[in-house]
Amino acid sequence: MTHTVRTERVTFDSDGETLVGTLHRPDGEGLRPAIVVTGSWTTVKEQMAAVYAQRMAEAGFLALAFDFTGFGESGGRPRQLESPVRKICDIHNAVTFLARHPAVDAGRIGALGVCASSGYTAVNAADDPRVRSLVLIAPWLHDAHLVQDIYGGADEAQRKTALGLDALARYETLAPPPCPAPSPRPAALPEATMSTCSHLDRIAPVAATASAEGCQECLRSGDDWVHLRRCLTCGHIGCCDSSRNRHASRHYESTRHPVVVFHQPDEHWGWCFPDQLFLESTEFTERTSR
């Protein structure tokens, strides 16, 4: 029997973050078996998870596809961070949401994972007795020997691991804290980030085209932001990449104006988008004050 399916937008909590999901509900009365459906790396609920959730609902299951923390419509920062620990926690909380849903038979909850989320789903199922059935589709499992084979041997896997750890350390050192308060300038930036910028000729002595009250686009739309960046070519003020809308980066993408200054009290350093370099204030102050 193929059921008629309707969908509804739902939200639930996962360790303090609000996650957004789509609940695929089959027609009919009475409690239904339910299933959490998750997709591969970096995907959102409208992609492969939605396809499988729809088919499971047509078969009579109440199926939940959702955006992990930091992805899609869900809250959480940093955005698009592929964190196995965080995703396993999200799956656990998705099961909790289903177990408490009035249309769900809490004794018949399953989980379906595709690709990378297969491993995350299996880890949760191993310790979560509420998950009574488990389906893994084209599973990508974080097995050490498998990872080495896929990534070119032990040395190459170790090199990629080192690059990832270095990127994490740079993020933790350089990224502004996730709050609207001014952040202190790092005591020391890695030497590699302080090379000479090749786009200083694009800096002009311009005033900001918006007040210091906030991001131009966010002020118009009523959205919020974390920190502000000021374009040193035209004076545009936009929100940083830790903000949901990333208007400073979008301004660069549309104008190719290369350099921004960190438009916060007590922050006197800048960033060159094309060179991917942090700039000391001495590199741009003279050009902006002419």
Give pLDDT tens digits for 115-139.
999 999 999 999 899 999 999 999 9
The pLDDT of residue 193: 38
Verify cis geometry, omega within 30 degrees of 0, for the bond prior to 84. no
pLDDT confidence of residue 93? 96
CA distance from start to end of the chain: 76
pLDDT over 70 at 283, yes or no:
no
Type of residue numbered 209? T
Compute the distance between CA of residue 15 and CA of residue 70 in angstroms, rounded to an integer: 12
Cβ atoms 157, 149 nearer than 8 A: no
Q: What is the CATH number of domain 5-144?
A: 3.40.50.1820
What's residue 233's pLDDT?
87
Mean confidence (pLDDT) of the chain:
83
The CA R_g of the chain, rounded to the nearest whole Å, is 23
User: pLDDT tens digit string along 21-49?
Assistant: 999 999 998 999 999 999 998 899 999 99
Q: Decide if 5-144 and 198-288 have a common fold.
A: no
Fold of 198-288: Herpes Virus-1 (3.30.40)
Instruction: Give per-residue pLDDT as tens, 232-273.
Output: 888 899 988 767 788 898 898 899 998 888 776 655 677 888
Domain residue spans in the chain? 5-144, 198-288
Nearest Cα neighbor of 97 from 5, 4, 22 is 22
Higher-confidence position of 183 and 158: 158
